[in-house]
Amino acid sequence: MPVPDVALDRSSPVPLYYQVATRLEQLIDEGELPAGSRLENEIELADRLGVSRPTMRRAIQYLVERGLLVRKRGVGTQVVHPKVRRPVELTSLYDDLAKSGQDPRTEVRSLVSEPLSDHVAGLMGLAPGTPATRIERLRYAAGEPLALMTNIVPADVLELSVEALTDHGLYDLLRAAGRVPRMARQVVGARAATPAEARLLGEPAGTAVLTMTRTAWDAGGQAVEYGSHIYRASRYSFELTLTSA
């Protein structure tokens, strides 16, 4: 399959390889390059687009990593069937809801300063007793309670306030403070809700709820957040896309 010509802007601050990759992705999404079709070889492609082979390879590599293309030595580069292809991302519930038009709302139920417990300190890799803020929030989507969230943030990471948390997700605030979570370890499980939890979530006592605990670190490997959340299983589930090798 011949790849249509691509207009590149060499004066743009956007890297060339990224311009090429984006354009290719667009062509695949639009069906211009149908699933299973083979691209021309790298050299021809690079030639025709007017970039060097390393740049062309980098663009292709980017799409291979994202699962849109498959390469085989001696064979060529093929378009993969256009299934879901976004890898798991580290996003916040608030962002997810806002993006899908669920009109998220947050009720901050409590916000207290307290030192880290041994358990949480261990998970975060910090010293027990480190000053921190503990918040408990109830998240609504489309007017319905969706999740009960307890989070703990070390005091030196971020100064939290009820007002800020009402209008923004915790991850927004962390981003604004320059402490972007870059790695997180999550454990997802299930259990029966306690009577108090069931009441807050508007579910009958003993309902099955989805639980998630998470520890998140920033780029420097510093723990920035610990969270223990429970979700209404009737209204929420985790969706993830995994890739191997």
**Interface positions with DNA (CB under 7 A):** 13, 15-18, 39, 41-43, 50-55, 57-58, 71-77
Does 183 participate in binding its own copies (rule CB under 8 A)? yes
Task: Report the nearest approach of DNA to the CB of residue 6 (Å).
Answer: 13
Nearer to DNA, 42 or 96 (CB): 42
| Smallest gap from residue 2 Cβ to DNA (A) | 12
Is residue 241 within 8 A of residue 84, CB to CB? The reply is yes
Binding mask 118-147 for its own copies (x = CB under 8 A): -------x----------------------
Half-sphere exposure of 169 toward its Cβ, with a 13 Å CA cutoff?
A: 20
Nearer to DNA by Cβ, of 38 and 99: the residue is 38
The answer to whether residue 177 forms part of the interface with its own copies (CB under 8 A) is no
Taking the C-alpha atoms of residue 159 and residue 106, their distance in angstroms, rounded to an integer, is 18
- Using CB distances below 5 to 8 A depending on partner kind, what does residue 17 bind out of DNA, its own copies, none? DNA
Reported for 212-217, long-range contacts at CB under 8 A and 24+ positions apart, including other chains, are: 212/186, 212/187, 212/188, 212/238, 213/186, 213/187, 214/184, 214/185, 214/186, 214/187, 215/123, 215/124, 215/184, 215/185, 216/90, 216/181, 216/183, 216/184, 217/181, 217/182, 217/183, 217/184
Site string for its own copies, 39-78 (x = CB under 8 A): ----------------------------x--x-------x
Q: According to CB under 8 A, which residues from 13 to 32 bind its own copies?
A: none
- What lies within 8 Å, CB to CB, of 241 at 6+ separation is 84, 85, 86, 87, 88
By CB under 8 A, residue 85 contacts its own copies: yes
13 binds, among its own copies, DNA, none (CB under 5 to 8 A by kind): DNA
Q: Which residue has the tokens 């916000």?
A: 111
Instruction: Determine the Cα–Cα distance for residues 203 and 33; give it in Å rounded to an integer.
Output: 48
- How far is Cα 231 from Cα 188, in angstroms, rounded to an integer? 11
Residue ranges in contact with its own copies by CB under 8 A: 35-36, 67, 70, 78, 80-85, 87-91, 125, 180-192, 206-211, 217, 219-222, 233-234, 236-245
